[in-house]
C-alpha cells in the first residue's frame, strides 16, 4: 500500500496518507514466514481533528514527533485526517482493501466507533484486495476524545504517549464486536455499549452539547428527563421466548464496561468473553439517579433491587405497546428507535492491547 499526498475533500471513499519513517519498532516477529525482516508495515492513523472541541487535532500535532521516533524502520506512518461524519469509515475500508497492517483511531469513542464500522461492509468483514487470505488488519486506539469510555475498560488513561508504547510493543488480542440491527434491517457494529430509552436519549442530547466538554453528559441527561416516562419493554434473549420488563428506565448492552463519560454501567462486561452483558434499570425516578449516581460510576449498582443483569449471545428488544419513540444508540451514536436486535461477533478484530 502506497502512502502519498492527496486531497481530503472528495465525497467518494478516499483517504489521504502521508508517510513518515522513524527508527524504533521491530515488527519482524509478526511477519509471515518467507518475508524479509526489513519488510515495512503500513499503519494508518485516522485522526478526527475536531474531537474534544479541537483538542484532538492539537495534541496529534504534538504527538507526531514522538510517533516518528518510536515507530521505526519497519513501519510507514500513514496519516489520514477526517473531514466529516462517516469519513473515518470510508478511510478504514479503503485502508483495509489496500492491505494496511493496522488502522489506529485517534480521537474519542465516536471516531473509534466509525473505524470499527469501517472494518465491515454490507454486514461482512472487509478484505484486502491483493494480500493472502490470512492477512489481517489490526485495530489500534490513541484515546484523545471527550469521554474515551472504551479505553477505561482496560484501565487506560487519555495519554497518547502510553498509547504509542502499546502499539510499539505490538501485543494484540482478539476483540469481540457487537452487531445491532434496527427496524429497517440495517446492521451497525459497536465495540463499547449499546443502550435503549433514557440513557440513549441522554446520549442523543449530549451530542448537541459537545462544546461544553464532559459537561455535555450532564446537560444531555437533564434534557432527556424532560417528558421521560418509564415504559414496558419486551425482551427476547438468545432466541427464546418474549419476556416483559415493566417500567424500564434504561436497558444497556455492554461489550465493554463504561459509557457516558465514565459511568461503569455494565461492570462485568468483557470484550473478549464472546458474550454481551445486559443491564436493565427499572422504575428509576430522577432522585434515584441523584442518590445512586455514585454506584453507577463505581459499577456497584447491580445489587440494587430494581437493577438486573445477565450475560447473552443475542437480545431482541421491542415496545410492549408500540409508539416508536424509544431511543436507541450504540457507542454514543444515535441509531433511531425500537425495535432492535443485538448479537455478538466473537474474536472479530485483532486489537493492540
Q: Which sequence positions are flagged as catalytic?
A: 109
What one-character-per-residue DSSP string does 178-238 give? Answer: EEEE-TT--EEEESSEEEEEHHHHHHHHHGGGGGGTTHHHHHHHHHHHTT---EEEEEEET
Radius of gyration of the chain (CA): 21
CA 201/CA 205 separation, integer angstroms: 6
Residues 6+ apart with CB under 8 A from 52: 107, 108, 144, 145, 146, 213
- Whole-angstrom CA distances from 148 to 27, 59, 92, 112, 257 are 28, 15, 19, 9, 12
Strand partners, 18: 79
Amino acid at each position: 500500500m502506497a502512502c502519498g499526498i492527496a486531497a481530503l475533500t472528495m465525497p467518494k471513499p478516499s483517504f489521504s496518507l502521508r508517510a513518515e519513517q522513524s527508527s524504533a519498532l521491530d515488527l519482524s516477529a509478526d511477519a509471515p514466514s518467507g518475508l524479509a525482516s526489513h519488510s515495512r508495515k503500513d499503519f494508518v492513523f485516522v485522526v478526527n481533528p475536531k474531537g474534544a472541541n479541537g483538542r484532538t487535532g492539537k495534541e496529534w500535532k504534538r504527538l507526531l514527533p514522538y510517533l516518528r521516533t518510536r515507530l521505526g524502520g519497519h513501519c510507514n506512518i500513514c496519516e489520514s485526517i477526517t473531514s466529516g461524519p462517516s469519513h473515518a469509515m470510508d478511510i478504514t475500508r479503503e485502508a483495509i482493501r489496500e492491505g494496511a497492517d493496522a488502522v489506529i483511531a485517534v480521537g474519542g469513542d465516536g471516531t473509534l466507533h466509525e473505524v470499527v464500522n469501517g472494518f465491515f461492509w454490507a454486514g461482512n468483514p472487509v478484505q484486502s484486495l491483493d494480500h493472502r487470505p490470512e492477512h489481517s488488519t489490526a485495530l489500534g486506539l490513541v484515546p484523545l476524545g471527550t469521554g474515551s469510555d472504551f479505553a477505561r475498560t482496560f484501565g487506560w488513561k487519555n495519554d497518547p504517549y502510553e498509547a504509542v508504547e502499546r502499539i510499539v510493543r505490538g501485543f494484540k488480542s482478539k476483540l469481540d464486536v457487537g452487531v445491532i440491527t434496527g427496524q429497517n434491517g440495517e446492521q451497525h457494529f459497536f465495540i463499547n455499549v449499546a443502550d435503549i430509552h433514557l440513557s440513549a436519549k441522554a446520549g442523543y442530547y449530549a451530542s448537541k452539547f459537545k462544546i461544553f466538554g464532559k459537561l455535555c453528559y450532564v446537560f444531555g441527561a437533564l434534557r432527556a428527563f424532560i417528558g421521560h416516562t418509564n415504559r414496558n419493554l419486551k425482551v427476547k434473549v438468545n432466541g427464546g421466548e418474549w419476556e416483559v420488563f415493566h417500567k424500564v428506565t434504561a436497558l444497556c448492552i455492554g461489550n465493554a464496561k463504561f459509557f457516558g463519560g465514565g459511568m461503569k454501567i455494565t461492570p462485568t462486561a468483557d470484550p473478549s468473553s464472546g458474550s454481551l452483558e445486559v443491564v436493565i434499570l427499572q422504575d428509576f425516578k430522577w432522585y434515584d439517579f441523584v442518590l445512586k449516581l455514585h454506584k453507577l460510576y463505581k459499577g456497584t449498582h447491580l445489587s440494587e433491587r430494581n437493577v438486573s443483569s445477565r450475560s447473552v449471545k443475542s437480545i431482541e428488544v421491542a415496545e410492549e405497546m408500540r409508539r416508536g419513540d424509544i431511543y436507541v444508540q450504540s457507542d454514543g451514536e444515535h441509531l433511531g428507535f425500537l425495535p432492535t436486535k443485538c448479537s455478538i461477533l466473537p474474536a472479530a478484530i485483532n486489537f493492540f492491547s
